[in-house]
Amino acid sequence: MARASPVALAGENMGTRKLAIPAHKPGMPMLRNRDLLIDILLLMGAYIVSILIINPVGDFPLNDDWSFARAVKGLVEQGDWRPTDWTSMPLITQALWGTVFCLPAGFSFNALRLSTLTLAIVGIVAVYVLFITNNRGRLLAITAALTLGFNPIYYELSATFMTDVPFSALAILSSIFFVQCIRRFNYLDLSIACALALAATLCRQLGLFLPLAFAVALVVQRGFAIRWLVRAIVPSIVCVVALLLFQQWMSNTGRMPALYGALADPQRRSMSMTAIGFNIVSALLYLGLFCLPILILGRRNLQLITNNTILCLLPALSGGVFALLSIYLIFAPLAQAHPPRWMPTVGNILLPQGLGPLPLRGSVDHLPYSFWGIVTALSVVGGVLLVRGVVASSAILIQKMRSSDLSVEDIIGIFFLAAMGAYMLPIVAGGLYDRYLVPLVPFLLYINTGGEPPQKNVGATIRNYSAAVLIVFFAAFAVLGTRDYLTWNRVRWEALAELQQTSRVSAHDIDGGFDYNGWFFLDPIYRDTVPRIFWNENARHVIAFSQIRGFKIVKDYEYFNWMPATVRKLVLLERETGS
């Protein structure tokens, strides 16, 4: 079995409790603590300023977070853990975190939103720390942190109480300490990594991908000696046992949600190979787009040392195959006289109209097709670069394993590649939403960096500016889109409150959209109320994006939309007599 070099193993018993920056590489700038602090403060400052622009204040649920919030509300007000039947994950970690923020002033969605925003900042800083402590260089560390922080999906979800951002932050933090264990094993790092992985797993079951990846990496690094095998599998055992005990407790006490364990809606869990193939190509399009700033900066020394021509060409061939599959996915609808399938292809947060979801009836104008055409082209380019980079990295690692020439850096690469595979498999096979891909972004950013230090030449300057332009583009889209999403939701909930308070209309006579209906209708019996959380068909009043058949407009509520810059409105509708 391939092992790391003796030099790499020399510090295994040092017992250091400090994150260790590996030996300085020639060409990499040395960073002082002052430089690190400045970088972190600037990253935090940029994010906080943008949050002030979008103004995330509003005591109302968004997306699915009404379900998670109700569990927190029970903890805060009754001291009891009772997740709704809509909940499909353990959630307990996030609920406890949200409860801490609710304790000073009582339950509110504003407090829950603040809890997620805090973890969003932690995630951004954690990406920077992951890169800096692994000798990726200051430029790459800042670029990676901004790429995640201003990813439109990560950014919008940071202003909700959805699980995606907290789960991502915990996963990144855990990976930092797992990597430290690979560099220089000590039990404190292992304990912290295990605790954070456990917290991630008790937020979402998929957190198991971290200890599983660590087990693979440590076995490859240290071999099958009993003492190292035990150390490799202990984190997985701890997380699996804790998850099973938690699930058993919920089942025995009647707390198990009806949808627990459902990765996506029930109709999508049994999928054909065609659907799985569609999910894989779509996932790579999204991930290619999300990672493009780092992919443009490029990675050096991805050449396979072999006389096998086919093996040398494998990364380029893989990228070419992906490009062909992407083109087929995009233009196949033309055969049925339908328009091309531009991004976004799977939906949930990133929508043709901007950022969502859009849980109301009626229609909203799409952003220009030319805009989505450009985004789709960028996604294909990013996907090709991503596939090429991952295949090349994997092939090089396999080649080194065969020759027993693995370095510590290679073992870390194996950890992140194993993590990618362990996470991707269930989501492409069980049903894909765009937000499920966000936790993968930091790991793919890491996989696609490293090698030789960047050279200072014209080409490098062009790549740097291109990456900067892309980050600005992502940030603008994220900020404008999230601001619009929060604005129309704020208007909606103000209109619904006015209807209930002024006109004395019962919530059961209103179709206020998915999250409104869920908040009022789903507790406590799921099976009798699930149809009403999507559309309350018997409602006398409806809040909608536009007029719908069988209803008359009672009042409209205007708001200014930033993307595109225009005045839009929501309409309050009343059922017409006889409808």
Which of 22-31, 62-71, 159-168, 235-244 shows the lowest mean pLDDT across its residues? Answer: 22-31
Question: Which residue has better confidence, 394 or 536?
Answer: 394
Of 183, 385, 361, the C-alpha closest to 288 is 385
What pLDDT is recorded for position 301? 54
Span 300-315, mean pLDDT?
Answer: 68
Residues 100, 411: Cα–Cα separation, whole Å: 38
Alpha helices (H) along 361-407: 369-402
Residues 207, 90: Cα–Cα separation, whole Å: 11
How many angstroms separate the Cα of 334 from the Cα of each of 191, 330, 338, 482, 556?
Answer: 54, 9, 5, 32, 38
What pLDDT is recorded for position 7? 35
> Residue 529 pLDDT more than 60?
no
> Residue 553 pLDDT more than 90?
yes
Q: What is the 3-state secondary structure (H, E, C) of 512-561?
A: CCHHHHHHHHCCCCCCCCHHHHHCCCCCCEEEECCCCCCEEEEEEEEEEE
Residues 233, 211: Cα–Cα separation, whole Å: 8
Two tokens, residue 80: 């009891």
Confidence of residue 531 (pLDDT cuts 50, 70, 90): very low
Two tokens, residue 566: 């225009």
Kindly report whether the peptide bond that precedes residue 266 is cis, defined as omega within 30 degrees of 0: no
Spatial contact of 203 and 160, defined as CB atoms under 8 Å apart: no
What pLDDT is recorded for position 1? 41
Which of 265-279, 349-363, 371-385, 397-411 shows the lowest mean pLDDT across its residues? Answer: 265-279
> Residue 9 pLDDT more than 60?
no
Confidence of residue 244 (pLDDT cuts 50, 70, 90): very high
**Residues of the chain with pLDDT > 90: what percent?**
73
SS3 state at 300? coil
> Residue 28 pLDDT more than 50?
no
Residue 145: CA atoms inside 13 Å, Cβ hemisphere, count? 29
Span 47-66, mean pLDDT?
Answer: 96
Q: Residue 107: is it exposed, middle or buried by C-beta count within 10 angstroms (0-12/13-18/19+)?
A: buried
* DSSP secondary structure, 399-434, as one string: HHHHTT---HHHHHHHHHHHHHHHHHHHHHHH---G
What pLDDT is recorded for position 17? 41
Specify the pairing of strand 510-511 against strand 541-544.
parallel
Predicted TM-score (pTM) of this structure: 0.92
Residue 45: CA atoms inside 13 Å, Cβ hemisphere, count? 6
Confidence of residue 3 (pLDDT cuts 50, 70, 90): very low
Spatial contact of 19 and 180, defined as CB atoms under 8 Å apart: yes
Length of the chain: 579
Q: What is the 3-state secondary structure (H, E, C) of 4-67?
A: CCHHHHCCCCCCCCCCCCCCCCCCCCCCCHHHHHHHHHHHHHHHHHHHHHHCCCCCCCCCCHHH
SS3 state at 575? strand
What pLDDT is recorded for position 579? 60
Of 165, 173, 179, 158, the C-alpha closest to 20 is 179
Spatial contact of 144 and 131, defined as CB atoms under 8 Å apart: yes
What pLDDT is recorded for position 307? 60
What pLDDT, in 10s, does the model give residues 14-27? 333 444 445 545 44
Task: Give the residue carrying structure tokens 């940029």.
Answer: 46
> Residue 245 pLDDT more than 80?
yes
What pLDDT is recorded for position 270? 53
In the chain, domain spans: 267-454, 484-575
> Residue 8 pLDDT more than 80?
no
Two tokens, residue 488: 């129309």
Spatial contact of 405 and 320, defined as CB atoms under 8 Å apart: no
Span 328-351, mean pLDDT?
Answer: 93
Backbone angles phi, psi at 347, to 5 degrees: 80, -175
Two tokens, residue 314: 């494998």
What pLDDT is recorded for position 535? 72
What pLDDT, in 10s, does the model give residues 558-569? 999 999 999 999
Span 463-490, mean pLDDT?
Answer: 96
Of 158, 153, 68, the C-alpha closest to 113 is 158
Residue 318: partners with Cβ closer than 8 Å, 6 or more residues away: 387, 388, 391
> Residue 199 pLDDT more than 90?
yes
What pLDDT is recorded for position 226? 96
> Residue 297 pLDDT more than 90?
no
Of 362, 416, 410, 371, the C-alpha closest to 550 is 362
Span 95-108, mean pLDDT?
Answer: 97
Spatial contact of 283 and 424, defined as CB atoms under 8 Å apart: yes
Q: Residue 553: is it exposed, middle or buried by C-beta count within 10 angstroms (0-12/13-18/19+)?
A: middle
